[in-house]
Amino acid sequence: MKQRSENFHIWEYLLFAAAALTVLILCVSIGSVSIPFKDTVVIIFDTVFGVPIPETIPMPVIITSVRLPRVLCVALVGASLSLCGAAMQGLLKNPLADGSTLGVSSGASLGAVIAIAFGISIPSMPFASTTILAIIFAFISLIFILALAYKLDYSMSTNTIILIGVIFSMFVSSILSLIITFAADKVKSITFWTMGSLSGSSYSDALVLLIALVISGTVILSQARELNAFAIGEENAMHIGINVKRVKLTILIAVSVLIGVCVSIGGTIGFVGLVTPHMVRMIVGPNHKRLLPASLFTGAIFLMLADLVSRIILNPLELPIGVVTSFIGAILFVIIFYRTRRVCR
């Protein structure tokens, strides 16, 4: 009975899923042209099940072609980043860690910026060049970071991985600045992309994100018990039968794949993987069997609301979503940090 209570219950999944679905419909209905909540539900239902949309509903194309694919991508990116953040904080036992700690997001950004700045195009898939190049660079970054960590420290300690990730991110940042200097005519588009934006997202982007989240997310969720063991230290985890090196590599690869896909489609979006796991941990506790799935849903809700703010706060202008998440995330992080310090005292 005790073991069952440690897991995420079905009713909790349904509750979080209902909250995420409600926020999704709300974000789809609100915009420069607001559509009634009820009509939005009908449009989404008819689109999913292939039913003709009633002619009495005005401008359904705004929902089906613009807002719905964008909000779906936003939800999937938010869920992915939050899940990666919770996993990295548990793996590295560092409350300031998130999916970008490895430096893989920096590598993915470098690949995308190179594609944008130099107009690199893949003949058979010209519209997917930025995404493909970002994913390739994310994998190259992962291989380089893990190989260097293994070379410097055979045990691949968390401190070594964090240090190499930080150094690699700083190195990539200098290269990005150099590229922006030489690509003056593309500065605006590169800057907007690096601040994070999911405008113009399509259903194909959502499908790519969904596939990546299902595969990598399943791998991360399957390591919940091992992440709980990491809380007592790597040596103690090893003594109770945990293959520490295998668990590290499994989670690092899964996180890197997920981060690479997210960055390639949405750009660099900060604070989601850092703040949302802390908020969820205050509600469901530190047990990763509950923390990981709750972080997944909460990340989706957080980023959908942040995207809604970015669309309507300066209407008709649109803020990059990364600006909104950084602003909101910084405030929330200070509040969480202050409350945590008070509890510790």
Summarize the confidence of residues 206-214 as an average pLDDT: 94
Quote the CA–CA distance of 303 and 253 in Å, as a whole number: 24
Q: How big is the CA angle at 308 (ends 303 and 310), to the nearest 5 degrees?
A: 90
Q: What is the DSSP string of 200-227?
A: T--HHHHHHHHHHHHHHHHHHHTTHHHH
Q: What is the mean pLDDT of the chain?
A: 85
pLDDT tens-digit series, residues 283-322: 898 899 999 999 999 999 999 999 999 999 888 788 889 8
Quote the CA–CA distance of 323 and 83 in Å, as a whole number: 21
Residue 154: which of 142, 144, 146 has the closest Cα? Answer: 146
Between residues 75 and 135, the one the model is more confident about: 75
Please state, in angstroms and as integers, the Cα–Cα distance from residue 270 to each residue in 227, 259, 274, 283, 295, following that order: 23, 12, 8, 22, 16
CATH number of 2-344: 1.10.3470.10
pLDDT tens-digit series, residues 70-127: 999 999 999 999 999 999 889 888 777 787 777 888 888 888 888 888 877 766 665 5
Residue that the structure tokens 């590598």 belong to: 107
Q: Where are the domains of the chain?
A: 2-344
Q: Supply the pTM of this predicted model.
A: 0.88
Quote the CA–CA distance of 144 and 70 in Å, as a whole number: 33
Q: What is the DSSP string of 74-138?
A: HHHHHHHHHHHHHHHHHHHT-TT--TTTTSHHHHHHHHHHHHHHHT---TT-GGGHHHHHHHHHH
pLDDT at 213: 96
Q: Is residue 2 pLDDT above 60, yes or no?
A: no
